[in-house]
Amino acid sequence: MVLSIHNISKAYGKIQALNDVSFDVPQGSVFGILGPNGSGKTTLLSIILDVLEANKGHFDWFGHPSSPDQRKKIGSLLETPNFYHYMSAINNLKITSSISGRGDAASIDTVLQKVNLFERRKSRFSSYSLGMKQRLAIGAALLGDPRVLVLDEPTNGLDPVGIAEIRDLMMELNRKGHTIIMASHLLDEVEKVCTHVVILKKGNVITTGPVDEVLMDEDIVEIGSANSEQLLQIASEYSSIATVKREGNYVQLVLIKGSARLEDVNRFFFERGVVLNHLLLKKKRLEARFFELTNN
């Protein structure tokens, strides 16, 4: 595991920000930390980056307690760096590298290539779009070639074009071997990017695991045929059925989790004289699952 968090608790006076939080971040994952405002996301990131100290519990990076040597393997973006607007990207990163002691002048071109800003490396920061500015901020976190990136709301405040740019960048960085840990409230983006997720509510872990497992608390199979009335009647006889409902031109079978094998569904109807012209396994959207979990 890249990161293992064990029973982390943090209080601000009478306010309990985190309460016995535990989960693991697998190597090579894009791990999303989700939760409503006040759920403890930023506090948790601040603790694992040694900005804040927990009241209880501990965490390990790469199987070892946090240390300066371990921190060199981690790039972070908790707040947008204060770049000089009148300076170029390359000169801004030279200053950031000098102050942080991470990376060197020779590696800056590589970083700018990673964040797709090499062609604009000599342009003033003030000439950049919002998405380009955020990509440069992520570039600053990449100085020193860290194995892990920790990002707090990396798409916050961006327009749809900027959000798409950062989404594509994170997926590309992950393909190149970086593990990414990100806090976000944009559920649609997390669903598109993340492989794993933890959902926090009032400082407590509600659920954690691979995104597909978190979403699939039930199996939904959407089917269609030439005779929808006949389809509805026969569908109610399926052995693993929980509920049956009509959705537009199709029928949705809500099945007991783990029982949705499409070949079995197709065979069931075929043996009863119904030829399916539509057969699709659907997963619940993260947004719907998120509100189910956090509104209880």
On the question of pLDDT at 8 being above 90, the answer is yes
CA distances from 206 to 104, 223, 234, 247, 289 (A): 42, 32, 37, 30, 11
CATH tag for 3-212 (out of 3.40.50.1820, 3.50.50.60, 3.40.640.10, 3.40.50.300): 3.40.50.300
CATH fold label, 216-294: Alpha-Beta Plaits (3.30.70)
Q: What is the pLDDT of residue 105?
A: 75
Compute φ and ψ for 5, nearest 5 degrees: -110, 125
**Among 22-31, 48-57, 275-284, where is mean pLDDT lowest?**
275-284
What's the CA gap between 2 and 241, in Å, rounded? 40
Confidence of residue 155 (pLDDT cuts 50, 70, 90): confident
Which tens digits make up the pLDDT trace of 75-89? 998 877 789 999 999
Give the per-residue pLDDT at 6: 96
pLDDT greater than 70 at residue 215: no
User: According to the 3-state scheme, what is the secondary structure of 158-190?
Assistant: CCHHHHHHHHHHHHHHHHCCCEEEEECCCHHHH
Average pLDDT over residues 126-140: 91
Q: How many CB atoms lie within 10 A of CB 121?
A: 19
User: What share of the chain in percent tops pLDDT 90?
Assistant: 42
What are the residues whose beta carbons fall under 8 Å from the beta carbon of 29, sequence distance 6 or more?
Answer: 2, 179, 180, 194, 195, 196
What ranges make up the beta strands (E) of the chain?
3-12, 15-25, 30-34, 56-61, 64-65, 74-77, 148-152, 179-183, 196-201, 204-210, 219-224, 241-247, 250-255, 278-282
245 or 60, which is more confident? 60
Q: Where are the domains of the chain?
A: 3-212, 216-294
Strand order in the sheet with 204-210: 74-77, 148-152, 179-183, 30-34, 196-201, 204-210
**pLDDT value, residue 242:** 63
Residues 6+ apart with CB under 8 A from 83: 92, 125, 133, 136, 137
Question: Which residues does 35 contact at the CB level (< 8 Å), separation at least 6?
Answer: 41, 199, 200, 201, 294
H or E stretch including 48?
helix 41-48
Question: Residue 101: which residues within 8 A CB-CB, separation 6 or more?
Answer: none
